[in-house]
Amino acid sequence: MSVERPMGILQRSDALVRLLAEEGALTPAEIAERIDTPRPTVYRLADALARMGLTETLPGTRIALSRRWLRLGDAARSSMSEWQLARPILDGLAASTGQTVFLCVPRGREGGGQEAVCIDCAQGQAFNVLLLKPGRALPLHAGAEGRVTLAYGVSDVEQYLVGAPFAAYNLRTLVTAEELRRDIAETRDRGFSISDEDVTDGIGALGAPLRTSRTGAFAGALSIVGLADRLTARRVELAEALLDAADALSATLP
């Protein structure tokens, strides 16, 4: 009888946790199908994670992440000392604009790619219907957060674009290399990215780059997100508020 190696177990556990973080509670059958893993293996992984307090079983045999992840997330954010002064800026921007505000940083992922992962947010308009949440991420070709990271935070854009066409969230998602090259040029020209329902129908966003105060290196993305028609109507006003907040937050970074 073969025994699965520890690295394989960890990879399957990671896939299970990421799936639950993205989609919420699922049944073992749904998990098995999503991560292409035999159902008995899913039961074993979920049981091991439950014994560590990381998952719990809900009515209907659905498996969900436990509340322990909230404490782990708080601890992870606290360890990122460079962002300790971000909270008042995020809250102030959300209060003054009425929009949800996200703080995202670049993160490498399996296979050598990159994504923009949300590490904090201030809730505002339309928060409950937004795909992005703390701990979740967007690929660099989608959303204001991902595309401002692509425009300012990737040293070799052409190498990234070799992977095109990318997966689409809907018909408005930019997926070809030509579309993304054009968007990068426009983003750099105006100083911020524009997401016009390219991730979630009816939702728009603006994203600004954050830079370290000492070297000016790209550090992350600050964005405001809300109903697309309202963002479009107030774009000039909201972009000005976003860029001012991004400058203020960048000034706090080492």
For residue range 147-161, list pLDDT tens digits in order. Answer: 999 999 999 999 999
Which two structure tokens, joined as six digits, stand for 68? 């322990």
Kindly state the average pLDDT of the residues 48-54: 87
Give 15's pLDDT tier (boundaries 50, 70, 90).
Answer: confident
Q: Are residues 129 and 218 in the same domain?
A: yes
Q: Is the pLDDT of residue 134 over 80?
A: yes
Give 111's pLDDT tier (boundaries 50, 70, 90).
Answer: very low
Q: What is the pLDDT of residue 19?
A: 87
Q: Are residues 141 and 226 in the same domain?
A: yes
Whichever domain contains 118, its CATH number is: 3.30.450.40
Q: Is the pLDDT of residue 113 over 70?
A: no
Q: Are residues 217 and 118 in the same domain?
A: yes
Q: Are residues 151 and 196 in the same domain?
A: yes
- Count of the separate structural domains present in the chain: 2
Q: Are residues 188 and 131 in the same domain?
A: yes
The average confidence (pLDDT) of the chain is: 89
Structural domain containing residue 212: 74-251
Kindly state the average pLDDT of the residues 42-60: 88
End of a domain among 66, 85, 117? 66
pLDDT digits (tens, 9 = 90+) for 194-237: 999 999 999 999 999 999 999 999 999 999 999 999 999 999 99
